Structure 1
Amino acid sequence: MNPAHAACLALALAQPAAGGAWLEDPGKGFAAASATYRTFRGGAAHELGYYAAYGAAPKLTLGVDLNRNADVSGHALIFARLPLRQGSRSRLAVETGIGGNHYRGYWQMMQKTTLSYGRSLETRRGSGWMAIDAAYELRNSGLDAIWKLDATLGLHRPGKAAPMLQIETARPESGRLSYALTPVMRYPLKNGRELLLGLEYRKAGRDSLGLKLGLWQKF
């Protein structure tokens, strides 16, 4: 695997933990910022991410997804999310995004289409949610295509720390499956903010362990 394809795979696993099948209420929004420091045999790397979504209309959410993997690679997307089904407990939505991805400063066009399913859950420890996202990405001006399937499980515990588990997978049409497992704890702060602290195990060409720090903000 050449370095550009390896970077593409690593970036494909770097996605926001929120959004999915849920639309933002009109005039309201959500933002998430994250920083990950990971180590692997022979070195270390850091990654920064930013995601924001805003309810532009009752059936339209607009947003931005930014990522930077050290000084090597990254992407910048704008997206629109539309509902397909909005039930009382389960939801289905489609999202389309366009922008660019880069490797060592060389930018090319990127497109992404995502089908998202979300469901609210009731457990003995409180309410929660499950989200499943299936995505098809065209990177490097359509030269690299990647299929993705991600899942998130989380609990709602107002005023208390709450667990969340992220499972992310990515497979290029001409490559091997890569994945990341990230258990996270969410800690409530003031004014609609949450602090996230997690550990990440990633296998994307090489094994790595990472410490992830994030901040969620409703506005």
Structure 2
Amino acid sequence: MARLIAFLCASLVFSTPAVAGAWLREKGASFTSLALTAFSEPGKDIRFKSSLYGEWGMRPNLTLGLDAEEHQDLYGHAVVFARLPVAEFSNGGRLAAELGVGAHHRETRAWAMYKATLSWGKGFQARYGSGWMAADAALEYRSHDALIRKLDLTVGLSSHRRVNPLLQIETSYVPGRPLYWSARPSAMFRSDSGPNTWIIGVERNAAQDRPGLRFALWREF
């Protein structure tokens, strides 16, 4: 795992990404992502985590979206959000802000959830083609719990090759609790015809003893 992460980082020595935290969708353009991750623990059943993510360009300076995740009916969340541009720094990248509201649950109990995110993104040209890097810093308040601080990093290539690398790292922290983290090195397979991109990778996180296998489908329309 460490060698694979190191290789992906080294190969990025930034084109607009499909998952675009700091970028807004063009008016009328949409993007969806469906993902499933399976974890297998010794002596336990296989556990699944699924997610649905979508964006729609309502106006040139306003993107609306949905972010939902479910852990086999045990816990999960769903948040609707609005993204607005904040600043553009030419060669220094760009900033965007998101405000979201929704709910999260643990088994049959549910609570309100609010989220504010500041995203930075930058495109680049590298030896192996064009790509992007993004950082998302968020404050997430769940009405029955403490304020959660999150920092996510994404780096990937978006050249015209059939296969491109992608690395996603997510962290979250609540004071007095251990830091949670996950790392997802993946390969993106671009369809020859149509707007689909298939993602195959692995996920290693602080809650699982073994890495999980991840499949995702991105679609732009």
Give the gaps of 5 or more residues in structure 1.
Answer: 1-16
In structure 1, distance between residues paired with 2:81 and 2:30: 14
Amino acid at match of 1:82: L
Shift of 1:192: 1.0
Counterpart CA distance in 1 for 2:149 and 2:210 is 22
Amino acid at match of 1:57: R
Question: TM-score normalised to the size of structure 1?
Answer: 0.87
Deviation at 1:82, TM superposition (A): 0.5
C-alpha contact (below 8 Å) 1:40/1:209 kept by paired residues? no
Residues 122-147 of structure 1 show CA distances to partners (whole Å, capped at 9, x for unaligned) of 110111100000011111x1523211
Question: 1:40 is matched by which residue type in structure 2?
Answer: E
Between Structure 1 and Structure 2, how many residues are aligned?
Answer: 201
Query: Where has structure 1 moved over 4 Å in runs of 4 or more?
Result: none
Q: Which residue of 2 aligns with 1:117?
A: 120
Distance 2:43 2:124 in 1: 42
- State the TM-score, normalizing by the size of structure 2: 0.87
Residue 194 of structure 1 contacts residue 216 of structure 1 at CA under 8 Å; is this kept in 2?
A: yes
Corresponding residue of 1:86: 88
How far apart, CA to CA, are the structure 2 residues paired with 1:21 and 1:174?
A: 31
Residues 114, 160 of structure 1: CA spacing in aligned structure 2 closer, same or farther, 3 A cutoff?
A: same
- Report matched runs for 1:56-67 at 5 Å: 56-67=58-69
Aligned to 2:9: none
Partner residue in 1 for 2:22? 21
What is the CA–CA distance in structure 2 between the aligned matches of 1:120 and 1:40, rounded to whole Å? Answer: 38
Alignment of 1:134-173 (within 5 A): 134-139=137-142, 141-173=143-175
Match of 1:179 in 2: 181
3-state DSSP of counterpart to 1:40: coil
SS in 1 for 2:70: strand
Report what 1:106 is aligned to: 109
How many Å apart are 1:209 and its aligned residue?
Answer: 1.1
CA distance in 1, matches of 2:147, 2:72: 23
SS of equivalent residue, structure 1 residue 207: coil
Match of 2:215 in 1: 213
Which amino acid is the alignment partner of residue 112 of structure 1?
A: K
Q: 1:31: how far off? A: 0.6
Letter in 2 for 1:150: D
Cα deviation, residue 105, structure 1 = 1.9
- Which residue does 2:40 correspond to in 1? 39
Quick one: which amino acid aligns to residue 35 of structure 1? L
State the one-letter code of the partner of 1:180: S
- 5+ residue gaps in structure 2? 1-17
Structure 1's 49 and 102: CA in aligned 2 closer, same or farther, altered over 3 A? same
SS of the residue aligned with 2:210? strand
Tell me how far 1:117 sits from its aligned partner.
0.3
Match among 70, 73, 76 for residue 72 of structure 2: 70
Whole-Å separation in 1 of the counterparts to 2:158 and 2:109: 41
Distance (whole Å) between structure 2 residues aligned to residue 142 and residue 85 of structure 1: 34
Q: Which amino acid aligns with 1:52?
A: G
Amino acid at match of 2:145: L
How high is the sequence identity, in percent, across the aligned residues?
Answer: 38
CA RMSD of aligned residues (A): 1.5
